[in-house]
């Protein structure tokens, strides 16, 4: 029988969210060291659904993990390669666009949440491999002007000109120190 908190060989998106939430509770309570958390995160981010689940919970949730990312976890995420870079950049884009949407609808709480995710993504992207990040951000930035592979991503979510401008501004803000 698997131990509590054991990771399925290839977790579903839902399983990854649940296990991440469990791990973060243990980490916040001091029952899981930074190094053990890093080991577990490394197992999770090897699959797309595992990484997606991890980022949904860690970026949008109340855990302070992404606000004070331990070096050991940052190293694991950096080693995650293109998959982690891609998801981090996509989360940056989506949170930037949603902040605009929530502002329009007058939902200050949701806007603040999206802005928090955007800030966390900005800091995360700055920690990842600079060359991989540069290529990925350039692709996203080109799409905000209607060029390249990421146009389909922006179109799929129905982002309008104002949201695309917010995404472009977020991309450019990553380079600012």
Given a cut of 60, whether residue 16 has pLDDT beyond it is: yes
User: What's the pLDDT score for residue 4?
Assistant: 46
pLDDT over 70, % of the chain = 94
Which helix (H) or strand (E) element contains residue 166?
helix 161-175
Residue 7 clears pLDDT 90, i.e. is over it: no
Q: Tens digit of pLDDT for each residue in 84-117?
A: 999 999 999 999 999 999 999 999 999 999 999 9
Domain limits, the chain: 10-79, 82-177
Which residues are CB-contacts of 90 (< 8 A; sequence separation ≥ 6)?
153
69 with 41: CB under 8 angstroms?
no
**Rounded Cα gap, residues 97 and 114, in angstroms:** 9
**pLDDT tens digits, 120-160:** 999 999 999 999 999 999 999 999 999 999 999 999 999 99
Q: What is the pTM assigned to this prediction? A: 0.91
């Amino acid at each position: 029988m698997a131990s509590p908190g054991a990771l399925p060989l290839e977790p579903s998106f839902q399983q990854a969210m649940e296990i991440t939430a469990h791990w973060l509770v243990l980490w916040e309570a001091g029952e899981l060291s930074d190094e053990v958390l890093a080991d577990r995160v490394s197992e999770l981010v090897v699959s797309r659904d595992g990484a997606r689940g991890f980022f949904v919970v860690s970026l949008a949730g109340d855990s302070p993990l992404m606000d004070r990312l331990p070096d050991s976890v940052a190293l694991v995420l950096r080693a995650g390669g293109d998959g982690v870079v891609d998801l981090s950049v996509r989360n940056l884009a989506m949170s930037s666009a949603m902040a605009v949407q929530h502002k329009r609808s007058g939902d200050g709480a949701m806007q603040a949440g999206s802005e928090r995710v955007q800030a966390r993504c900005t800091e995360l992207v700055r920690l990842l491999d600079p060359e991989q990040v540069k290529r990925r951000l350039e692709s996203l930035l080109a799409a905000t002007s209607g060029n390249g592979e990421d146009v389909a991503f922006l179109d799929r979510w129905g982002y309008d000109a104002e949201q695309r401008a917010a995404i472009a501004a977020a991309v450019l803000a990553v380079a600012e120190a």
